[in-house]
Amino acid sequence: MITLALSKGRIFEETLPLLKAAGIQVLEDPETSRKLILGTNSPDVRVVLVRASDVPTYVQHGGADLGVVGRDVLIEHGVDGMYQPLDLNIARCRMSVAVRDDFDYAAAVKQGSRIRVATKYTEIARQHFADKGVHVDLIKLYGSMELAPLTGLADAIVDLVSTGNTLRANHLVEVEHIMEISSRLVVNQAALKLKREPLRRMIDAFASAIQA
Ligand code: AMP
């Protein structure tokens, strides 16, 4: 049995064409089913639905043989025990610094002020500001980062941006682009040895179906 860990939403939807290329069709729709383990047309392959931030944990500890996870989540979590054979080029977005449109970020940086930054991505933010030599106080949040500058909790946020609509709707502007994000395939290292043939076939099929 091969177990693939996916999160609901964009990653699940955008992984379906890759699975199809490997001859695998998921038999249930996670948006309508309450099941957490989904069967496929292949009796030896199943999909487990987990939170995006839990995908690395499942793969690392062998709860799943492989998974699809954003680069952001992987950097925050660490990659021990996992092999990362492919950038699947799906669920693309960028990690950015954003501030209120009336906050002069460049001046604050130039003056060497301590900037309060709210984010779910504390590791990425810590590295980014350390590389730039900017002093920051990081405030860990678990959701709706956009609210932090509007309420005075923080001066800036570090968050994922796709269309930019969420920032615009909240009078925030992007002031720094930290990195491009896309989702990667991660594979449990022990599983790759024990189930080498079927996993290799699946990885090769995914590789051939990646869109530029
Ligand atoms: P947008 O309004 O299109 O710029 O999307 C921004 C919102 O969607 C933010 O709240 C992000 O945290 C979230 N978001 C955008 N892209 C992704 C992604 N690839 N994975 C997870 N969350 C995302």
Residuewise pLDDT in 10s, the chain (212 residues): 999 999 999 999 999 999 999 999 999 999 999 999 999 999 999 999 999 999 999 999 999 999 999 999 999 999 999 999 999 999 999 999 999 999 999 999 999 999 999 999 999 999 999 999 999 999 999 999 999 999 999 999 999 999 999 999 999 999 999 999 999 999 999 999 999 999 999 999 999 999 98
Residue 66 and residue 45 in contact, taking contact as beta carbons nearer than 8 Å: no
Give backbone dihedrals phi and psi of 63, rounded to 5 degrees, phi first.
-70, -20
pLDDT (0 to 100) of residue 202 = 97
Residue 125 and residue 133 in contact, taking contact as beta carbons nearer than 8 Å: no
Cα of 179 to ligand 1 centre, how many Å? 14
DSSP H or E segment with residue 206: helix 196-209
Q: Which residue type is seen at 142?
A: Y
Quick one: tokens of 171? 């009078």
Bridging pattern class, strands 136-140 and 66-70: unpaired
Quick one: tokens of 179? 């990195």
Closest residue by Cα to atom 13, ligand 1, is: 160
pLDDT (0 to 100) of residue 184 = 98
Cα of 21 to ligand 1 centre, how many Å? 27
Give backbone dihedrals phi and psi of 209, rounded to 5 degrees, phi first.
-100, 0
Residue 5 and residue 50 in contact, taking contact as beta carbons nearer than 8 Å: yes
pLDDT (0 to 100) of residue 212 = 85
Mutate-to-test residue for ligand 1 from 10, 166, 179, 182, highest number of ligand atoms within 8 A of CB: 166
Mutate-to-test residue for ligand 1 from 72, 75, 93, highest number of ligand atoms within 8 A of CB: 93
Cα of 94 to ligand 1 centre, how many Å? 9
Give backbone dihedrals phi and psi of 157, rounded to 5 degrees, phi first.
-130, 155
pLDDT (0 to 100) of residue 33 = 92
Closest residue by Cα to atom 19, ligand 1, is: 91
Residue list, ligand 1 pocket, CB within 6 Å: 10, 70, 91, 93, 159-166
Residue 112 and residue 133 in contact, taking contact as beta carbons nearer than 8 Å: no
Cα of 128 to ligand 1 centre, how many Å? 19
Residue 77 and residue 14 in contact, taking contact as beta carbons nearer than 8 Å: no
